[in-house]
Amino acid sequence: MATQGTVTFNRDICKGCGLCVTACATHLLVLDESEINRKGYHPVMITDPARCNGCANCALMCPDQGITVTQDRIAREGVVRGGAVRERVAGRQLVHA
């Protein structure tokens, strides 16, 4: 069973420390240089949400608990016409809040 994650950031409390960027196993997090939050920092953003695996390393590293990760378990149902694999969400769980 594969997993896919949904990550949510509280960009207003982010202080741009970059710990989550360093901890991201899939290298999808960056500091958003085009925006400044209410604290005056560049907040974190995800570059490709579809590639998040839901590991929650980013949330575990955040000193301000500003990251929530939900993990979807993807069940593969087998090969369908054309060689594609049909997938469905088998369950959703909160990994870290």
In eight-state DSSP terms, residue 33 is: T
pTM of the complete model: 0.75
pLDDT in tens for each of the 97 residues of the chain?
A: 567 889 999 999 999 999 999 999 999 999 999 999 999 999 999 999 999 999 999 999 999 999 999 987 766 555 555 665 555 555 666 666 5
- Structural domain boundaries of the chain? 2-96
Q: What is the CATH number of domain 2-96?
A: 3.30.70.20
The dihedral over CA atoms of 24, 9, 49, 74, expressed in degrees to the nearest 10, equals 90
Structure tokens at 50: 């579809």
Say what the pLDDT of residue 4 is: 83
- Closest-CA residue to 7 (of 43, 63, 72, 54): 54
Distance of CA 5 to the CA centre of its chain: 6
